[in-house]
Each structure stands twice: as structure tokens, then as C-alpha cells.
Amino acid sequence: MGQKKSMVELHRVGVEEYKRVEKLPVTVVLDNVRSEMNVGSVFRTADAFLIERICLCGFTPQPPKAEIHKTALGAEDSVSWQHYSTTLDAVKQLRSEGYTICSIEQVHDSVSLEQFDVDRVGKVAIVLGNEVKGVAQEVVDASDLCVEIPQAGTKHSLNISCCAAIVMWHLYQQIIDNRY
């Protein structure tokens, strides 16, 4: 087995330099997510995959919070974020900025994640929903499309932080592959 890489070998940058790095044209929207730990995990993953920003909507917890920091490990300082009173307010703002609104939800006529081509939609806002109720129906209705992660087990959903990581990785991989 190989030796673990040092921080120098990983080429990590500080928060200020990270803020200057070109980000992917991807915004994550959290629709009334309850858990501070899930929010922190989404921040950490967003940092890893150069996500442009996170929109925290409704009662979604906002930094600074101890449990967010525990899982974000400081990514709440590197990733830009905004709070909106409602998810529909965020959707309206993002649409006015030219984003395609994409709810990650199990709905009729959804697009399977492996079929989702980010190049065809340009700037994308991915909406992730509440741990129990998912993305609110009114937000689904306001979305341009819905994407579903194929699953085969006995459970019908993934934890929001796992779902977010899978989708962000998929978008990161597509966008980075197309840049180089």
C-alpha cells in the first residue's frame, strides 16, 4: 500500500486563495433541511468540488453553528452562502441569474442521474430537500427538471449529505472533463 499524502502534496489552498479560484457554475439549494450536521457536510463537499455557492432556505440552519462547523471543518468559511426566507425566493433569484433549476427528487418523468448532461443546461442550481419530506412539491413544480439517483435496495432514499455528494461529484466530473 502507498504512503498517505501530506497536505503539501495534496496542493490545498487557504480560504482566501480558495475564494479566488474559478468555481463550477453550480449552486446548491437546501430546501428546509433540518440537520446542522447535514448542512455542514454539504458545505464540506461543496468546498471539495468547487461549488459556486449554497442557498440556505427556510429553516435550514445557517453558520455559525457548532454542529455545522463540526462536519464542515471550516468549509462554511470558504464556500459562499446566502439565506432565503423561502426556497421559492431562491429559485426566483437563481432563475433571474440564468440558472436551470434542477430538483433532486423521485418524481414521474425524472431524468436518471447518469443521463443528466450538465452541458445542455449551462448554469445549474440543484435543489436538495428536507430529510423526511424531500423537496417541497411547490419547488418541484417550479423546477425546470428533476433528477433521480437510481437505487436498488429496500430504502427509498439517501441521506441528503450522501445524495448531495453523489450529485456534486457527477457535475464536477462532467464539467472538469469538458474543460480539459
pLDDT beyond 80 at 180: no
* Residue ranges of domains in the chain, CATH in brackets: 22-149+156-179 (3.40.1280.10)
Prediction pTM value? 0.95
Placement of cell 466530473 in the chain: 173
The answer to whether residues 11 and 18 touch, using CB atoms and an 8 Å cutoff, is no
Based on the number of CB atoms within 10 Å of its own CB, is 108 exposed (0-12), middle (13-18) or buried (19 or more)?
exposed
Tens of pLDDT, residues 113-150: 999 998 888 899 999 999 999 999 999 999 999 999 99
All three cell numbers of 26:
453550480
pLDDT beyond 80 at 171: yes
The answer to whether residues 148 and 127 touch, using CB atoms and an 8 Å cutoff, is no
pLDDT beyond 70 at 96: yes
Distance CA 103, CA 114 (A): 15
All three cell numbers of 29:
439549494
Q: Whose CA is closest to 62, among 45, 81, 46, 88?
A: 81
Better pLDDT: 176 or 70:
70
- The whole-number pLDDT of residue 13 equals 87
Tens of pLDDT, residues 32-84: 999 999 999 999 999 999 999 999 999 999 999 999 999 999 999 999 999 99
